[in-house]
Copies of this chain bind each other. A is one copy, B any other.
Amino acid sequence: MSRDAAVLFANDAFYLAFATRDMAAMDDIWARRAAVSCLHPGWAPLTGRDAVMESWRGILGSPDSPQISCANAQATVIGDVAVVVCGEILAQGTLAATNVFAFEDGAWKMVHHHAAPAPPPETAAAGDDAPPTLQ
């Protein structure tokens, strides 16, 4: 398996754990050596494994935990770190995510997750010159 494929496999495992509310898998997906951080949509940034795992316990244990799937994931591997950019499809709308992984003890582990609202892929106008907005 190429390094890109291995990273995308780890990214898929993250969304599978999210969709199936599998907290044990989610815990295993996140790095234990590198410092971790997480920006959930509309939340203040979380730093440190304890805070990040607490957030996932709350999300995955909630009856409002969203159904989610990943789309259009693209990985860039730089040494032992990889950046994945992908879409997240939820019933409520579409998000875009940055997921960062580090190669740690023989496996790609998540060190950072940032998800935020983005236009759905079919209306995406990548490369237009509109200024960024807050919406």
Q: What is A's interface to B at a CB cutoff of 8 Å?
A: 34-35, 37, 39-47, 51, 54-55, 57-59, 62, 64-66, 72, 74, 76, 78-81, 83, 85, 87, 90, 92-93, 95-96, 98, 100, 102, 111-112, 114-119, 121, 124-135
Contacts and interface: CB of A to CB of B under 8 A. Distances in A.
A87 B39 CA distance: 11
A28 B53 CA distance: 37
Contact of A76 (B55, B57, B111): B111
Question: What is the total number of copies of this protein in its complex?
Answer: 2
Given A55-B127, A78-B102, A131-B62, A41 B116 contact: yes
A102 B66 CA distance: 34
20 contacts: A34-B76, A35-B76, A39-B98, A41-B133, A42-B118, A42-B132, A43-B119, A43-B124, A43-B128, A43-B130, A45-B118, A45-B124, A47-B85, A57-B129, A58-B129, A62-B129, A66-B131, A92-B133, A92-B134, A98-B112
Nearest to A65: B131
A55 B57 CA distance: 38
A115 B114 CA distance: 9
B133 A42 contact: yes
A33 to B, nearest CB: 9
